[in-house]
A and B are shown apart, each in its own frame.
Chain A
Amino acid sequence: MRIVVDFDLCESNAVCMGIAPEIFEVRDDDFLYVLDENPPESMRAKVEESVQRCPKQAISIAED
């Protein structure tokens, strides 16, 4: 599982950070940083919730 963020769409609502702070971090510059682009399978439910709840549909999961 690889996390793909479309940074043209992302507007830093930080919803993903609320769901999975181990993976997503919005810093003081108001930009999103992906801390772990290849998270373990155990994080899949949280990543999927982040995909669903992103107000900009900016997050997707690539299976490669």
Chain B
Amino acid sequence: MNSTTVIVGASLAGINAARTLRLNGQTGPIVVVDADPERPYDRPPLSKQMLTGEWEPEKILLPAGKEDLDLDFRLGVRAKAVDLGSRQITLETPNGNVETSAFDSLVIASGAAARRLPDTAGIAGVHVVRTLADSLSLRADLDAGPSRVVVIGAGFIGAEVASSCRKRGLDVTLVEALPLPLERILGPEMGRVCAQVHIENGVDLRLGTGVLQLETAAVDGVERVVGVALTDGTTVAADVVVVGIGVSVNTQWLEGSGLNLDDGVVCDDTLLAAPGVVAAGDIARYPSARFGRMLRVEHWETAIAGGEAAARRLLAEESGETPAVFDPIPWFWSDQYDRKIQLAGRPMPTDECVVVHGSTEEFRFVALYGDGDRLTGVLGMNRPRHVVQLRAIFEEGATFSQACERAAAL
């Protein structure tokens, strides 16, 4: 393949797409564009080892970013628009210059950005955790020894930030608008278990309450957060606030391109969005036959697998081979305190949930989710062996009852 490929996004999905293209016969230029000026890095440590101070940035560089793959990196450069007809992408360089670049094929892996609270831009002490710069900025504030950190949102990022702060011996208040953390992902029963993990680790957990506003004060001429007013009428004093309320996809540059945008880039079941255009990672929305609905998956492993699959899709288009369907079982892990939570699958909060190994009282267990007799998820807490074995059983197409039976024999 001697054509030019532009990849927008140098994170996990983009870099793995680039690597797969190069290792499988693309000889033409591969241009990798990312608004983030940093060399490609891994995000999971940003809320964990980077925040606790155990690791330095050098340690989270992605191996593929260091390989000699003859990639033309354009870091710090933002994609502004794309014209699929003339095959031109508009880019903005760090000094504000706007230029266009021609391509034959395009990989969309521009990911997502952390959502922020409205009207909080510029307030010192208020953080999100999405980029290396975010993580280092929060770490500097934690190094200053705040009297209390308020984490808004008890999803996986919020939970990991709370855990890292507790490891540093900091007092933490974790605020969640829902009655239970992770309820929409894990259901109420497992949400209760996750809530208990925070409480056991000394977190002041405030459930079912939203944020009214941030309280600020001028400190040395800088507007700084000093507290968080909650909708339950209380105010929590805080020197540092971390907002973990999810992400929004980076599709602004694709508006007007003719691509189908719907909270992501809508692809077919091979990650193809248009002829010669594929999407991967957090931004790709694809139909999953396995789960019977459109999925957009923000997991680490899906970014790798999706990047590889998107690249293979382009190669197949070139060679005329039948493209492979992309429908893996989503899988992720989250490390919180001394617990490792792993979920394979995509359960609905209303699915039935059965503990098949261990017990929730010990915070060491495996649970299966089912919708009728359809297996929809495998959840483990400090049970990695069982999760991986049950994920394989899931992959084989086991029903909920079959999986429960086989789990008992593991």
**A26 & B333 in contact (Cβ 8 Å cutoff):** no
Interface pick from B78-86, B311-319, B384-392: B384-392
Interface: B382 (CB within 8 A): yes
For the complex, would chain B's binding face be called helix, strand, loop or mixed by DSSP majority? helix
**B63 & A30 in contact (Cβ 8 Å cutoff):** no
**B304 & A53 in contact (Cβ 8 Å cutoff):** yes
Size band of the interface chain B makes with A: 10 to 19
Shortest C-beta distance, A42 to chain B (Å), equals: 20
**A17 & B388 in contact (Cβ 8 Å cutoff):** yes
Known: A55-B44, A55-B333. A14 touches B385 (CB 8 A): yes
Interface: B340 (CB within 8 A): yes
Closest chain A residue to B61, Cβ basis: A57
Known: A53-B304, A55-B44. A14 touches B384 (CB 8 A): yes
Number of A-B contacts (CB under 8 A): 37
A contact residues around B392 at 8 Å (CB): 18
Known: A53-B304, A55-B333. A13 touches B385 (CB 8 A): no
Count, chain A residues at interface, CB 8 A: 16
Interface: B300 (CB within 8 A): yes
**A55 & B340 in contact (Cβ 8 Å cutoff):** no
Please, how many angstroms separate the alpha-carbon atoms of A26 and B382 in the complex? 12
**A18 & B385 in contact (Cβ 8 Å cutoff):** no
Over the window 381-410 of chain B, the binary record of Cβ atoms lying under 8 Å from chain A Cβ atoms (1 yes, 0 no) is 010110110011000000000000000000
Interface: A34 (CB within 8 A): no
**B44 & A12 in contact (Cβ 8 Å cutoff):** no
**A57 & B63 in contact (Cβ 8 Å cutoff):** yes
Known: A12-B340, A55-B300. A30 touches B335 (CB 8 A): no
Interface: A11 (CB within 8 A): yes
Partner of A30, one of B42, B44, B382: B382
**A30 & B300 in contact (Cβ 8 Å cutoff):** no
Shortest C-beta distance, B82 to chain A (Å), equals: 29
Please, how many angstroms separate the alpha-carbon atoms of A25 and B340 in the complex? 17
Known: A30-B382, A57-B63. A14 touches B387 (CB 8 A): yes
A contact residues around B342 at 8 Å (CB): 13
**A18 & B333 in contact (Cβ 8 Å cutoff):** no
Closest chain B residue to A9, Cβ basis: B59
A contact residues around B300 at 8 Å (CB): 55
A contact residues around B382 at 8 Å (CB): 30
**B391 & A13 in contact (Cβ 8 Å cutoff):** no
Partner of A18, one of B42, B304, B340, B388: B388
Within 1-55 of A, Cβ neighbours of B (below 8 Å) are at 11-15, 17-18, 25-28, 30, 52-53, 55
Please, how many angstroms separate the alpha-carbon atoms of A25 and B410 in the complex? 14
Please, how many angstroms separate the alpha-carbon atoms of A14 and B392 in the complex? 12
**B391 & A30 in contact (Cβ 8 Å cutoff):** no
**A28 & B384 in contact (Cβ 8 Å cutoff):** no
Please, how many angstroms separate the alpha-carbon atoms of A18 and B42 in the complex? 21
Known: A30-B382, A55-B333, A57-B63. A15 touches B304 (CB 8 A): no
Shortest C-beta distance, A51 to chain B (Å), equals: 8
Interface: B36 (CB within 8 A): no
Known: A18-B391, A57-B63. A26 touches B304 (CB 8 A): no
7 residue pairs from A and B, CB less than 8 Å apart: A12-B340, A14-B385, A25-B385, A26-B388, A30-B384, A53-B304, A55-B333
Task: Please give the residue numbers on chain B whose beta carbons come within 8 Å of chain A beta carbons, in ascending order.
Answer: 42, 44, 63, 300-301, 304, 333, 335, 340, 342, 382, 384-385, 387-388, 391-392
